Amino acid sequence: MSDSSSTPSRTIPIHVDTGTAYNKPPATSNLDMTQVGRDTPMGELLRRYWHPIGVSSDANSTPRKVRVLGEDLILFRDKKGRPGLVYPHCAHRGTSLFYGKVEENGIRCCYHGWLFDAEGHCLERPCEPKNDEHRHKIRQPWYPVQELYGLIWAYMGPPEKKPVLPRYECLETLEDGEFLEVNDNSIGGGGPQIIPCNWLQHYENLVDPFHVVILHSSFSGTQFVEQMALMPKVTWDTQEHSVRTVSLRDLPDGQTLRRISEAGLPTLRVIPSPRIGRYGMVESLGWVLPIDDHSFRIYVVGRVKEEGELVKMRSRLNGKLWEELTEEEHQQFPGDYEAMVSQGAIAYHSEEHLATSDIGIVKLRRLLQQQIQRIKDGLDPAGVSFDVNSAPVKFSAGNFLMPREP
């Protein structure tokens, strides 16, 4: 009988794959780039520019709540036609001016009747003595507003740093029969009017041409036109106040589609129509308005020849508009909305693994970080002007046909 105790024992090593989700470090977001409130790096940068806060018809004799860069405000238009944007709580005792009455010279609080003009000056205090000299010392907090291209624009930064409201060449040069159309339904966002995620997730989408080939052209079917399904040759370059993307697509007829788009400071969408209805200079501009850290919307102005042309730019999924899809179809045919919102209210940047197709995103983040640093250094950011005679801003974006290079 053999003695088993004399046989040396062997240890068989067991390989443990430690790359499971258990060891995943806590996810973090780049808050310097995403937070838009006062005294945040991005919030202070954005406040050095003008932003659209509504279409012109939004400012009327009914006070309107608006939320911009994390601030709640009241928009109105007095009976003389002047738009005003004020802090919501009356300087007297804090009652909301949402319940105020718009009059000839301003907005009157419902509680004690204090009247403020479009620039916050206190004009009347009915319950005070007639020789009320102290009302001149009171001012309702307000922001400057202007109207241009059918939009109401607000400047919410340091008063001494207020730039001129820029004009844009592509909206100034109209062909015969063209007129400007305004849309406030977040065209380009791929979903509802208010999109519940951080604005940067959409802004970075502007310099990502490859998602058009996958998300918009193969994964969810053809959402635009067949030409956009062709894999492009892409280059990016940083301009003075934008990141430009040049995409070349070789077409079956031997020509090349040269598509140029730009993400301009501070939130500009300079994107030619993905439906390629015509070739040439970009026909519309969009502005991404950060409502707060967790939501945004888009205003678009474009040159059109027929009313309703801007809406035709919207993508269709399974032949339907976003709001027409069932929950099952949203999962089966995702678009920009699903891709962006599913990143989270604010994307977790620590979990990213950027690749060569993300060069545009790297360049855009670098451009924004440079502008944030300029503000910290006491300088003006790129893309602002204090010259009332400055020329309209010009972009090179558009869809262009050209002979294919050998």
Name the β-bridge partners of 289. 297
**370 in the same domain as 222:** yes
Domain that holds residue 289: 163-403
- State pLDDT tens for residues 106-136: 999 999 999 999 999 999 999 999 888 889 9
Length of the chain: 406
For the chain, what is the mean pLDDT?
94
Contact 364, 263 (CB under 8 A): yes
CA end-to-end span of the chain, whole Å?
86
- The secondary structure element, H or E, covering residue 41 is helix 41-46
SS3 for 2? coil
32 DSSP assignment: H
Q: How confident is the model at residue 313 (pLDDT cuts 50, 70, 90)?
A: confident
> Is a pLDDT exceeding 70 seen at residue 6?
no
> Is a pLDDT exceeding 60 seen at residue 317?
yes
pTM: 0.93
What is the rounded CA–CA span in Å between residue 175 and residue 166? 21
253-264 b/e (C-beta count within 10 Å ≥ 16 → b): eeebbbbbbbbb
208-218 b/e (C-beta count within 10 Å ≥ 16 → b): bbbebbebbbe
Give the residue from 147, 179, 196 where a domain finishes.
147
Give Dmax (Cα) for the chain: 122
- State pLDDT tens for residues 28-83: 999 999 999 999 999 999 999 999 999 999 999 999 999 999 999 999 999 999 99
CA distances from 350 to 26, 30, 337, 353, 361 (A): 9, 8, 22, 9, 15
**211 in the same domain as 187:** yes
- State pLDDT tens for residues 359-372: 999 999 999 999 99
The CATH number that applies at residue 84 is 2.102.10.10
**293 in the same domain as 221:** yes
Give the residue from 97, 117, 147 where a domain finishes.
147
Give the number of domains in the chain.
2
What is the rounded CA–CA span in Å between residue 350 and residue 29? 6
Q: What is the pLDDT of residue 3?
A: 53
Q: What is the pLDDT of residue 204?
A: 98
Here the tokens at position 178 are 């063209």
Contact 285, 168 (CB under 8 A): yes
